Amino acid sequence: MSSLERNGGLQKGDSGGDKFRLQLITWNVATSDPPVDISSLLHFDSPKATDFYVIGLQEVYSGPLRFMSDVLFDDPWSYVLMTALAPRRYVKVASIRMQGLLLLLFCKLEHLPFIRDIKTTYTRTGIFGYWGNKGGVSIRLSFYGHMLCFLNCHLAAHMKNAPDRVVEFEHITDKQSFSCEKAERILDHRLVFWFGDLNFRIQDHGMNFVRTCISNQNYSLLWSKDQLILMKQKEKLLQEFEEGLLDFQPTYKFDVNTDTYDSSTKKRKPAWTDRILWRLRPKQTGSKEKHGDRPDGSDVKQLEAEEYPLAIRQDLYTSNMEYSISDHKPVTAIFTLELKKMYTDPLVHLQAEGEWSADMDAMLLYSPLQSFPSSTWDWIGLYRVGFTSVSDYITYTWVKDDEVSINEDAIKVYVSKEEIPVRGGDCMLGYYSNTLQCIIGISEPFKVHESKVVIEEGLLHEKTISLDQIVANEHFHN
């Protein structure tokens, strides 16, 4: 029985704060291109809107030509996901790729200024640690002040290598580090999600018994021989991670484009290779009166945890049998995070001043609402409403280079008319902090008017068409 069941809902107690919905997906896509329709994968038909999407893929095609193309442009999987999510006002906050391992994080636009201190890193473990066909990629961030880390792994394959998989996981968690004072390593984070193609198998049971249990949906008869469950019984680090019940059929290995388990001569035994686990940082022990005395800062973390509680509940843990482009099925977990926000205001307030069009230079105003580490590399981007990612700007202006004036209320920044789109549209402004590696303020949507030149060209075009029609009509009647 998991601690989730023991606590009867939100893990480690109710935080009494705001609730957020997190959807996490892991899928070994076996080098296939994405399906045309991914609405079922993203649970668009759910009555509750998702605040966060975190998508971890393994075995994304990384042939030399494709990989070089993906470095310059968005890879097909990122493109399809952004295209599906952007119209629903989700923005890609961060991503990291190591060969076939890809990790993407999307959030609702309204949360964007409250996701800070974003860092990414990776660790290779496959083929002597050089090629990167196995290993882990991670994204860490602060969400309303709470430190979260997402780790997508692809671990060693084959039945006999269960101990090696644990060693690889321990190596990844020990080796990965971030330039972040509050949470330098993965396990320093308040909440860690560990997921991916972890490659743990079902041992001892024979093929016929396993397939009969699956056919009869008696999954619980297989749990006692699942390698990850077995390894958790003796590995202290694994015991700190929670997992929901494996109450869905094993997700590996299928014949491609079917729901049939491996019918090749190898006839690999079905297994729950694709998993999603989480770890809420254990409470620190010891006196809280000696605030800050410990060199690891554990007393500070304990006091912070008590003042700003965080609770987690898993609402869904399942596979999606609809997709058959890979020999793995995707696995989804949906969580409710309940937390007390450490801050409720963005770092910067932004607004467009006056009327904007490509016919005249424009001005924008920004006001720091809190102190933050500003940099000469900070910039403000002009985005269309419905933009897909932080880098999906129309244009940008350097904050320091283009300052025009400063007063008590706001700082005015110049934007050249040459940078403003001539066809106009509904737009927004976003302040990007180079130090924090994220957008720390967004404006309300505003209208950029179509340029008079475009309007005049349009009228001239209409007149030309009308004249052509008159000439054509006269020619027809004659």
Give CA–CA dist 25/371, Å, rounded.
Answer: 36
Confidence of residue 63 (pLDDT cuts 50, 70, 90): confident
Q: Are the beta carbons of 39 and 84 closer than 8 angstroms?
A: yes
Asked if the model's pLDDT at residue 287 lies above 50, the reply is no
For the chain, give the percent of residues with pLDDT over 90. 77
pLDDT of residue 453: 81
Exposed e or buried b per residue across 426-461, where buried means at least 16 C-beta atoms within 10 angstroms of its C-beta: ebbbbbbbeebebbbbbbeebebbbbeebeeeeeee
Confidence of residue 64 (pLDDT cuts 50, 70, 90): low
CA atoms within 13 A on the CB side of 410: 12
Pick the more confident residue, 196 or 453.
Answer: 196
**CATH fold of 348-453:** Immunoglobulin-like (2.60.40)
pLDDT of residue 409: 81
Asked if the model's pLDDT at residue 171 lies above 60, the reply is yes
pLDDT of residue 284: 63
pLDDT tens for each residue of 396-406: 999 999 999 88
Query: Which among 270, 276, 281 has a CA at the least distance from the CA of 308?
Result: 281
In this prediction, residues 201-222 reach a mean pLDDT of 97
pLDDT of residue 457: 62
For tokens 């680090």, what's the residue?
A: 237
- Range with lowest mean pLDDT among 180-189, 277-286, 324-333, 335-344: 277-286
**What amino acid occupies position 445?**
P
pLDDT of residue 70: 47
- Range with lowest mean pLDDT among 303-307, 324-328, 352-356: 303-307
Mean pLDDT, the chain, as a whole number?
Answer: 88
Please report the DSSP string for 210-228 in residue order.
Answer: HHHHHHTT-THHHHTTBHH
Confidence of residue 472 (pLDDT cuts 50, 70, 90): low
Neighbouring CB atoms inside 10 A of 270's CB total 21
99, 337, 387 from 108: Cα distances, Å: 28, 15, 12
In words, the CATH class of domain 3-339 is alpha beta
Neighbouring CB atoms inside 10 A of 205's CB total 17
Give CA–CA dist 91/75, Å, rounded.
Answer: 16
Maximum mean pLDDT: which of 255-269, 276-290, 397-411: 255-269
Q: Are the beta carbons of 212 and 234 closer than 8 angstroms?
A: no
Maximum mean pLDDT: which of 69-83, 285-299, 443-457: 443-457
pLDDT of residue 293: 44
Asked if the model's pLDDT at residue 56 lies above 50, the reply is yes
Pick the more confident residue, 132 or 203.
Answer: 203
Asked if the model's pLDDT at residue 207 lies above 70, the reply is yes
Query: Which among 330, 337, 340 has a CA at the least distance from the CA of 315?
Result: 337
Please report the DSSP string for 90-124 in residue order.
Answer: EEEEEEEEETTEEEEEEEEGGGGGGEEEEEEEEEE
Q: Where are the beta strands (DSSP E) in 222-346?
A: 274-280, 310-319, 331-339
- Range with lowest mean pLDDT among 147-156, 256-265, 296-305, 335-344: 296-305
Asked if the model's pLDDT at residue 290 lies above 70, the reply is no
pLDDT tens for each residue of 426-456: 999 999 999 888 999 999 999 999 998 876 6
Q: Taking the domains of the chain in order of start, what are their residue ranges?
A: 3-339, 348-453
SS3 178: coil
Give CA–CA dist 450/347, Å, rounded.
Answer: 31
Q: Are the beta carbons of 349 and 53 closer than 8 angstroms?
A: no
Q: Are the beta carbons of 311 and 295 closer than 8 angstroms?
A: no
Query: Which among 273, 75, 49 has a CA at the least distance from the CA of 155?
Result: 273
Give CA–CA dist 334/45, Å, rounded.
Answer: 14
433 is written with which tokens?
């902090």
pLDDT of residue 11: 54
Nearest 5°: the CA angle 130, 136, 137 is 105
Query: Which among 167, 224, 174 has a CA at the least distance from the CA of 199?
Result: 167
pLDDT of residue 48: 92
In this prediction, residues 97-118 reach a mean pLDDT of 96
Query: H-helix or E-strand containing 5?
Result: helix 3-7
Q: Give the contacts of 112 (CB within 8 A, at least 6 positions apart).
A: 91, 93, 430, 438, 439, 442
In this prediction, residues 42-49 reach a mean pLDDT of 94
Q: Are the beta carbons of 106 and 50 closer than 8 angstroms?
A: no
Query: Which among 39, 279, 14 has a CA at the least distance from the CA of 173?
Result: 279
**What amino acid occupies position 402?**
D
